[in-house]
Amino acid sequence: MEDNAESRGLGPEAIRALRGEQSRASFARLLGVTPLTVYRWELPDDAPQARRPRGRVAQALRQLAQGGPAARASATSQRQELRPEESARLTPCLARLERAEWRAAEEELLALGASGVLRTPGARALAAVGLAYLQRWGREDCRGAFATLLPHMEEAAAGVLPEAVELQVHALAANLYAAPDGKLFDVEKADAHIARAEALLVTHDSPEVRCHLRIAELASAFYLGEAERITRCAGRMAASMVGVKDPVLRLLAEDACAHESAIRGESAQATRRFREVAQGAARLGYPFLEARNLSFLAQRRLEESCEPAEALQLVRRAREAAYGGRMARGFSFIFTARAEAEALLRLARYAEAEAVLDEADAVIEELSWTPLHLVVPRAVLALVTGRHAELRKFASRLAAYSGPIQRALTGAYALFAEAMADFAEGHRQRAAERFAATGARVVELGGWPYLRRECLVYEAGARAFAGQLQEGRVVLRRARVFLERMPSAGHSAVLHRFEGILLALEGRTREAREQTEASLATSRLAGDVSMVAFTRHLLSQLARLEGDPASEELLAASEAELRRLGMAIPGDFTQSVPRLPPAASAVPGASPGPGRLGAEALVVPFERLSVRGMGAPLIQRELLGVLEGLFPSGAPRLEELDSQGRATLLAGPATPVATDAVEFGDGCGRRLRLGVAGPLPADGRALLTALSRLGGFALEVAALRGFAQVEATALLDDAEAERDTELPGFIAASPSMKRLRSELASLSSSRATVIVTGESGAGKEVVARALHTLSTRAQRPYVAFNCAAVPRELFEGQLFGYRRGAYTGATTDHPGVIRAAHGGTLFLDEIGELPLEVQPKLLRFLENGEVFPLGEIRPVEVDVRVVAATHRDLAQLVREGRFREDLYYRLQVVPVRVPPLRERREDVLALARHFVRQLTPEGQQPPQLGPDALAALVAHPWPGNVRELRNVLERSMAYGPLPTVLGAEQMRIAG
């Protein structure tokens, strides 16, 4: 080892002598280094890992050597503990951070810092830790957090802070160096701070700090893109949550566990965790984590082939949460934009998708981050629109990336982008080789599974198009195995399409068409307009290959559809395939014969129902779609049966009644019935039985994989459907309403302002009254005030009250609805209609608990819990200048959404029975709802929600005499 003047005289023996009887950990804390550093100092000079002290540390060691034990005591005494009054002032501020009360905590910490009451370095450092914490975890402002913490990181290194405070500084510094910002990300520094913190944990154990260190470790592994490193962290994250009581930290840890599950291929568990963290963050009023997890949830749901509209709804909610929390445009924004772009691509809204990707690109530039996260949507956009030059340019940008973040993985994505450009331009053999090379490179880098999956799927397609049939079969098998590990309905559909091309080139056109039809069905089910159009074009090419007389007409129609959507027209892969005579596919024995469907009719349905990654709702819809194809006039329906054999319609038309039906189980305790209206072919019953069994197995597999959280719910009978005696009118038969009721109960002891959103007629006032009934204020007044029903000139007086003579016409004192609700709950319905000029006074009341009645000379204190409701988009009103931004933020403390009735169809029957009992004249027996009436009620979309349902039943029961059974003919449902 090269000698250095600074380290002379500080060899291994000298270090051991200075350390004496102390442990390496305590000696390291004394010097502000890690125990590993001390260990390296004590290694022989010729050891590869040996190091010698330098700079400040060498100087400190010399001082210790000169001063002996006294110098050690002097060094230790540099640490000045917090004064009791400083701890008393800081503790409530830091407690606010645990409750995600970011703004209040920020104001109090800033006020403390400005007041000069924090005199010791440790107190000032602890306040800075709090501010940096809320900047990092409250607003995703990593750079602001780093600037706040930086001076105190130096103090921690110098050993002047109390050890408990130094521990907090190191833990937060580790997370900042592991943050998704190219200017800050440094794994070595993050690891160093983790090591220093763990050394301090020996004497200052803290479950919260330990959990933060695991979050930093896992974040470093993800942002490096090293799957093996993530695997090494597996399990440590969940174990670190033991003993952690901080709800914010527990949500952060659950967020990290969700990503860990996703990369391990536990897709359904990841989806569930993202959803639960988003819901928990919303309840806590934690916009950063709510927005972040809604974005990742949208991405996961797209993987599971949800409707694009569902993903866009999640994205919209994520943006609203980010806007309401005043978040910086950070790393989470990139994934929000990616999910939105992928949903828009599926809807063939290419210009909008490109604009969203450009916006995400701008954020990537701001963060000095790698652009690899946008490669796949950019490649798909270029592929479907034929803009290959742009994809080449993007690939060159990836290849030129020289930043410190995932440089090697970015290079692999550059190879993938080049391969996609070759594939799009028709250089299929070169594309196949590049896909294979990219896959091999990914394996060398540790096997990043997301890119590995893309490479395998598209290599299979490139091999097929290039005519490399044997190689294509090998890659196809490997891709299928990989999709077993990381299931994705969308990737399975693409692979089906590529297998169809491979089969066609092998001369097996019937099987090719079956695979392609299965791909088409999955794409249609997922609402993927782009892939549906591509697959239809492929089917028209296969029709021409089979000699179908209508093939040219089909081909022309599919090309017209592609042009209309703005998509590139693919080349004709069938040019190299010999044409079959028209009757070639109808060889003897191939046709099942008149009046029969035959075993071949099951091939496509089996392929459609065996797609990996579909949840129970998609499987149910696919099962009905298959039956509609086999029995076009059969009106298939799927029902759930209770123990008494009573049926609840799950999917399909309410009428006509099925003449042939098969019962089956889903492996999770439910009995289902699949039926069609006849007449059926000779083998129709056998076909129906086979499909029902396959559907049952598919539902069981989905549940075992976690894609379906199935509950053994039967049709509610009259006793089960009775309203909750605690909450009159609150009907909770559906899982979503049961969860809502649970949320309302958990808010019982809080006085936080609640904003209830939902469509008109969904039951927002019922929810508001339930909040009051479940609260500790239940015995105090409940006052409802409809902001849309009061003239503008009377608003202020009605709301805040007035003294007699305050204005012309004020002949008596009026307390106003706020004072009338003193001690109880005030429900402000349609808060979006509140006049702009009244909003500042309402804000003052919400913040200070004071009202200023007209004519009074001093404010009046009022104790009121406010619940507001609206069907309007308040965030949009803020952007339009029609609603105050500060009032918007003050209302968004606890957001509660009431789902529309179409999203909770289990409630329809329970609500219907409730309204029938309610509307029956006193002294009469309530009529029963007949099976056909129940079916008609469940099948209706209810655009007017619960209000419309009540009106329908009231209208149906208005015509006397009241029958014993209300049938479908009495249901006066407006068309």
Give CA–CA dist 1/459, Å, rounded: 50
Angstrom CA distances, 262 to 205, 585, 700, 956, stand at 31, 44, 21, 51
Nearest to 610 by CA among 480, 499, 734: 480
DSSP one-letter code for 615: -
Give CA–CA dist 579/576, Å, rounded: 9
What is the pLDDT at residue 599? 56
CB proximity list for 712: less than 8 A, separation 6 or greater:
668, 669, 670
Burial of 871 (0-12, 13-18, 19+ CB in 10 A): middle
Enter the tokens of residue 414: 């550059």
pLDDT of 698 > 60? The answer is yes
Q: CA dihedral in degrees (198, 202, 207, 211; nearest 10)?
A: 10
If one counts every other C-beta atom within 10 angstroms of the C-beta of residue 351, the result is 10
| Amino acid letter, 216 | A
Q: What is the mean pLDDT of residues 240-251?
A: 85
Name which of 277-286, 740-749, 801-810 the model is least confident about. Answer: 801-810
Give CA–CA dist 304/614, Å, rounded: 6
Residue with tokens 């967020």: 255
Burial of 103 (0-12, 13-18, 19+ CB in 10 A): middle
Q: Beta strand 754-757 with 660-665: parallel, antiparallel or unpaired?
A: unpaired
What is the pLDDT at residue 807? 64
Q: What is the 3-state secondary structure (H, E, C) of 245-294?
A: CCHHHHHHHHHHHHHHHHHCCCHHHHHHHHHHHHHHHHHHCCHHHHHHHH
| Amino acid letter, 278 | A
pLDDT of 72 > 50? The answer is no
Q: Give the model's confidence band at 385: pLDDT under 50 very low, under 70 low, under 90 confident, else very high.
A: very high
Give CA–CA dist 528/367, Å, rounded: 32
pLDDT of 724 > 50? The answer is no
Q: What is the mean pLDDT of residues 849-856?
A: 79
Digit-coded pLDDT (tens) for 795-808: 888 888 877 766 66
Q: What is the mean pLDDT of residues 858-886?
A: 87
pLDDT of 283 > 80? The answer is yes
Which stretch, 122-136, 672-686, 831-845, has highest mean pLDDT?
122-136
Name which of 550-554, 621-625, 768-772 the model is least confident about. Answer: 621-625
Q: What is the mean pLDDT of residues 844-854?
A: 82
What is the pLDDT at residue 708? 42
CB proximity list for 618: less than 8 A, separation 6 or greater:
304, 305, 489, 525, 526
Residue with tokens 């270090």: 15
Q: Do 404 and 181 contact (CB within 8 A), yes or no?
A: no
Between 244 and 598, residue with greater pLDDT = 244
Between 678 and 150, residue with greater pLDDT = 150
Give CA–CA dist 248/928, Å, rounded: 49
What is the pLDDT at residue 78? 62
CB proximity list for 755: less than 8 A, separation 6 or greater:
831, 867, 868, 869, 870, 874, 891, 892, 893, 894, 895, 896
Q: What is the mean pLDDT of residues 128-139?
A: 92
CB proximity list for 632: less than 8 A, separation 6 or greater:
none
Digit-coded pLDDT (tens) for 626-642: 777 777 777 888 887 76
pLDDT of 584 > 50? The answer is no
Nearest to 715 by CA among 547, 561, 931, 507: 931
| Angle 737-739-741 from CA coordinates, rounded to 5° | 70
Give CA–CA dist 458/225, Å, rounded: 21
Name which of 255-259, 386-390, 964-968 the model is least confident about. Answer: 964-968
Nearest to 741 by CA among 758, 721, 766, 717: 766
Q: Using DSSP, state whether 648 is helix, strand or coil.
A: strand
Give CA–CA dist 189/143, Å, rounded: 16
What is the pLDDT at residue 399? 92
Nearest to 501 by CA among 453, 557, 541, 558: 541
Give CA–CA dist 130/133, Å, rounded: 5
Q: What is the mean pLDDT of residues 912-929?
A: 84
What is the pLDDT at residue 576? 60
Name which of 430-434, 478-482, 948-952 the model is least confident about. Answer: 478-482
